Amino acid sequence: MHEYSIVQSLLDSCDENAVKNNATKVTKVVVKIGVMSGVEAELLKTAFDTFKEETICAEAEFIINIQQVVIKCHNCSKESTLKKLEYCCPECQSTELDILDGEDMFLMSLEME
């Protein structure tokens, strides 16, 4: 499970941000996970809850926002959010498109004290 290594990096990032901001604890961590990121949200939450105990995030609430795939069509220039992982434009059915969002995981925000 690569979720454990992701959580370790996430906790390191939280610690670095807390130090930069003279915070003594992190109270909320918000991440965005794209459906194409390969990260399992429930496994990530379990890993976070397991490994946060001895860190600055020990009391942090962990919020996961799931990001659907957002595409832009080369033919009709329309941006769309895909409801299914079928890679064609819902407007013109073209398969010539760019993926704008939904492939990555991001740390979106931290609340600290």
User: pTM of the entire structure?
Assistant: 0.86
Q: What is the CATH number of the domain that holds 60?
A: 3.30.2320.80
Per-residue tokens: 53:
């105990």
* CB atoms near residue 38 (< 10 Å): 13
Q: Give the pLDDT confidence of 20-46 residue by residue, as tens digits.
A: 999 999 999 999 999 999 999 999 999
What pLDDT does 3 receive? 83
Domain span holding position 30: 3-112
Percent of the chain at pLDDT > 70 equals 99
pLDDT at 22: 96
Domains identified in the chain, total number:
1
pLDDT band at 1 (very low <50, low <70, confident <90, very high): low
Q: Distance of CA 101 to CAs 16, 69, 108, Å?
A: 26, 6, 14
Q: Is the pLDDT of residue 77 over 80?
A: yes
Q: What is the pLDDT of residues 89-102, one digit of tens each?
A: 999 999 999 999 99
